[in-house]
Amino acid sequence: MASFLVSLLLLVLQKYATPFELVNTSFGTTLDAIDLDPVLVANVSEDATSSPPPGTSKRTPHSIIIGVRKGGTRALLEMLDIHPEVAAAATEVHFFDWDENYAKGLEWYRDLMPYSYPHQITIEKTPGYFTSPLAPERICAMNSSIKLLLILRDPAERVISDYTQVYFNRLENHKPVQAIENLLVRSGSLNIRYKAIQRSLYDVHMRNWLKHFPLEQIHIVDGDALIHDPLPELQKVERFLNLAPRIVSSNFYFNQTKGFYCIRSDGRERCLHESKGRPHPSVNNTVLQQLRSYLQEHNQHFFRMVKRTFSWQ
């Protein structure tokens, strides 16, 4: 299934890559690092071949959800898509991570955005942008006044979610898997080179973004709060994006089977892809405390950086 998805995505990309050979398989992102939904990938192809609704056009995003991976980016985008003034991109493209032909790629990037009406804003989400050393400068070069959305959750829990996603991806692709403790600890010490831990050093990555954007241009969504009570967080995003208040409590209902909130709009109900909300493995308590202790100092640095705190353990 994974190889099929990659092949499908590459076929879509090749249609637009002819002028500048944008598809570069050596830029370092693997399937384990991409949160692909087969339905959403299919939507890209369908959108590219369908006739645009009258009065619409494709534009570069007015706002980008820049991360963090396993922080709730898909949930945030799907919930914002309820709003009539929002046009949500169907898939993430990892454009600003690419090593070559960046300047030639903007037209291609815009073409992958959804058709939108003049009164709508376009929003794209690619969670890998937050930890990318290239994305902040390149997004700033594209639009220095763009509004950025960053959704974060408890960084230790995010590490476990990161592991869980990769674990199931490897199982589905018949690859060997390891217990999470074997990845978190090496020779009795916390393995701080483990990529999942590196992605949870929010202060390190935020520092790079603040070199190019003022803090007022980056709205931080509390991913833990979004899970438990989505409406207040979405109302804050509406205000940040200068959207009229259109998202209401009746747009959400708690799905007891899945264990999280689902969406109700336009007479339809929908939940996130089945890959979301997978049960986490139990983690050895000593190892978990090692992880939390290591992250604590980074969390404090981050709180000072963004001038707010979160209820992370």
Q: What distances in angstroms separate CA 282 from CA 36, 113, 227, 260, 279, one per listed residue? A: 25, 39, 20, 20, 9
The partner residues of 150 in beta bridges, in order of sequence, read 67, 220
Pairing of strands 189-190, 218-222: unpaired
Average pLDDT along the chain: 84
Quote the number of domains for the chain.
1
Q: What is the CATH number of the domain that holds 158?
A: 3.40.50.300
Q: What is the mean pLDDT of residues 68-74?
A: 95
Residue 256's pLDDT is what? 82
Residue 312 covered by a domain: no
**How confident is residue 239, by pLDDT bands cut at 50, 70 and 90?**
very high
Q: Is residue 279 part of a domain?
A: yes
C-alpha–C-alpha distance, residues 191 and 261, integer Å: 34
Percentage, residues of the chain above pLDDT 90: 69
Which residues 6+ apart lie within 8 Å of 199 measured at CB? 68, 69, 131, 158, 159, 162, 205
pLDDT in tens, 167-224: 999 999 999 999 999 999 999 999 999 999 999 999 999 999 999 999 999 999 999 9
Residue 94 lies in a domain: yes
- Is residue 275 assigned to a domain? yes
Q: How far is CA 75 from the centre of its chain?
A: 9
Q: Are 123 and 64 in contact (CB under 8 A)?
A: yes
Residues 95 and 63: beta-carbon distance below 8 Å: no
Residue 282 belongs to what H/E stretch? none
pTM over 0.75: yes
For residue 96, being part of any structural domain is answered with: yes
Q: pLDDT (tens digit, 9 = 90+) per residue, 129-172?
A: 999 999 999 999 999 999 999 999 999 999 999 999 999 999 99
**Helices 285-306 + 202-210 axis angle, to 10:** 20
pLDDT, tens digit (0-9, with 9 covering 90-100), for 98-110: 766 677 788 889 9
Gap between the Cα atoms of 234 and 249, Å rounded: 10
The answer to the question of residue 199 being in a domain is: yes
Domain extent at residue 164: 2-306
Q: Does any domain span residue 313?
A: no
| Confidence bin at 313 (pLDDT 50/70/90) | confident
- At residue 273 the predicted structure's pLDDT band, cuts being 50, 70 and 90, is low
Q: Is residue 311 part of a domain?
A: no
Q: Torsions phi, psi of 142, nearest 5? A: -70, -45
